[in-house]
């Protein structure tokens, strides 16, 4: 079964009638965050986009899945890797890993060392790729080799021997 992203990232305005897509606004905001080379929580993203409860974080995660599908289709690093869950100590929510699995990029345990390693690799590739895209204004069409997209050593997400994120170097 193919993953279809067209219906994702749609939200209903306060009036309950107008549907709009937040994915383009989310992409623009994540590109700015990529330039800073630091992760951001889903809650901070919802606030930055002006989304209010209920379901603000759910709206962000639906838009994230839409962006992940676009990134997978164009062989780019997942810009969604820049977002993390406040409750998971530096990892994205399980839905990030579920979506990456559906898109054929992740096959490990969403809680284990594979998740930490996968996220660190995607985060480092994403901040390098998307920061460069935001700076040059050019969108890459293919995923670059992880070695060429690595963030500078001073800003790479580290994984310690237990599989936990050690923060930004």
In a domain, 156, yes or no: yes
Q: Which domain holds residue 83?
A: 19-168
In a domain, 11, yes or no: no
Number of domains in the chain: 1
53-104 pLDDT per residue, tens? 899 999 999 999 999 999 999 999 999 999 999 999 899 999 999 999 999 9
**For the residues of 70-93, what is the DSSP string, one character each?**
HHHHTT---GGGGEE-GGGTTSPP
Non-local CB neighbours of 155 within 8 Å, separated by 6+ positions: 37, 38, 127, 168, 169
| Overall pTM surpassing 0.75 (yes/no) | no
Angle between helices 94-102 and 56-73 (to 10 degrees): 30
134-151 pLDDT per residue, tens? 666 555 444 444 434 444
In a domain, 122, yes or no: yes
């Amino acid at each position: 079964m193919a993953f279809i992203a067209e219906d994702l990232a749609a939200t209903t305005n306060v009036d309950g009638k107008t549907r709009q897509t937040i994915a383009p606004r989310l992409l623009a905001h994540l590109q700015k965050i990529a330039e800073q080379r630091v992760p951001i929580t889903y809650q901070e993203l919802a606030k930055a986009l002006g989304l209010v409860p209920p379901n603000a974080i759910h709206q962000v995660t639906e838009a994230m899945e839409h962006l992940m599908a676009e990134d997978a289709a164009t062989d780019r690093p997942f810009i969604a890797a820049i977002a993390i869950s406040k409750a998971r100590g530096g990892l994205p929510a399980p839905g990030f890993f579920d979506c990456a699995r559906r898109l054929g990029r992740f096959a490990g345990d969403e809680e284990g060392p594979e998740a930490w390693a996968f996220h660190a690799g995607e985060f480092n590739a994403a901040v390098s790729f998307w920061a460069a895209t935001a700076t040059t204004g050019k969108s890459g069409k293919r995923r670059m080799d992880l070695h060429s997209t690595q963030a500078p050593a001073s800003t790479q997400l580290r994984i310690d021997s237990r599989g936990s994120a050690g923060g930004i170097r």
